[in-house]
Structure formats: structure tokens, C-alpha cells
Structure 1
Amino acid sequence: MGRLVTSGELAKELGLSLRTIQRYIAGGVITPEFRTAGGHTRWDPDSVREQLRKLHEQET
């Protein structure tokens, strides 16, 4: 596991809006590394890139 970031930091790093990240979470498109006790998500950006890459490959 690499460094972990918040959803806002993830959105910025991937060039997406926070709302897009939230839609991806709700739709099960991406899965966080873990959730805090308060329900906040933490992400490994490299893992998310891989999840999105695999999804793209499945669609093509």
C-alpha cells in the first residue's frame, strides 16, 4: 500500500471533481483502501488508477 489521501486529494490528483469521486464510490466503481471510524474514505491513488484502468479495459 502506498500513501493514502482523502477523497478531495484523490480528485485533485486524478483531475476529477469530488462529485465524480463520490459518484464512483456510490456506484461501486472504485473501492477505498479503508474507511475511518467516522466513515471517511482513504485512498491509495495508484490503486485507484489501476481500478479505473481495469474498468476501462473491460469496457473496450
Structure 2
Amino acid sequence: MPSRYVSTGEAAKAIGVDRRTLQRWAVEGVVESALVTAGGHQRWDVEDLKAQLRKRRRGES
């Protein structure tokens, strides 16, 4: 089954942070979006995003 990509706002809500926080984390390289649209908008796979954050918390960068 293909992943469902969501907007930055939806992804941020799913992980309990503000949209601007998620955008900042992406700029800082803390997390990476699943794709960027032709218009420059980030799209997120929420399960992948959660996995990235779990990995980071465990110190696996």
C-alpha cells in the first residue's frame, strides 16, 4: 500500500509540534521530508517522520 503524504501542518499536528517547529527541524537537518513538490512544498510520511525522531532520540542520528 502506498504511503500517504501530508502537508507540514498535518505532519506537525500528528507529532504534536507547531508547523514552524517542523519546518525549522527540516532546515536544520533534524528530519527530512518524504518529498518536495514542484512548488517547493514539503510533504511528509508521518510514520517515517516518527521513525526519524525515534532514531534521533536513541542517538542513532
- Aligned AA (2:20): R
Tell me the percent identity.
44
Q: Which runs of 4+ in 1 moved over 2 A?
A: none
1:13, 1:35 → 2: CA distance? 19
> How many residues in Structure 1 have an aligned counterpart in Structure 2?
59
If asked which structure has higher relative contact order (CA below 8 Å, sep 6+), I would say 1
What stretches of structure 1 of length at least 5 have no aligned partner? none
Higher-strand-fraction structure = 2
Corresponding residue of 1:26: 27
Instruction: Give the C-alpha shift of residue 23 in structure 1.
Output: 1.0
Q: TM-score, normalised by structure 1?
A: 0.91
Corresponding residue of 1:53: 54
Corresponding residue of 2:45: 44
Q: TM-score, normalised by structure 2?
A: 0.89
